Amino acid sequence: MRYVPPPLLPPFDESPVSFTVAGPRFTPGEVTIVKVCIAQDHSVVSADVIESSGDKRFDDYAIDWARQVRVRSAPQSGLALGKCGEVRVEIRKPSEPRIVSGPDSALS
Q: What is the pLDDT of residues 46-61, one digit of tens each?
A: 999 999 999 999 999 9
Please tell me which residue, 49 or 23, carries the higher pLDDT value. Answer: 49
Q: What is the 3-state secondary structure (H, E, C) of the chain?
A: CCCCCCCCECCECCCCCCCCCECCCCCCCCEEEEEEEECCCCCEEEEEEEECCCCHHHHHHHHHHHCCCCECCCCCCCCCECCEEEEEEECCCCCCCCCCCCCCCCEC
State the pTM of this model. Answer: 0.69
pLDDT band at 22 (very low <50, low <70, confident <90, very high): low
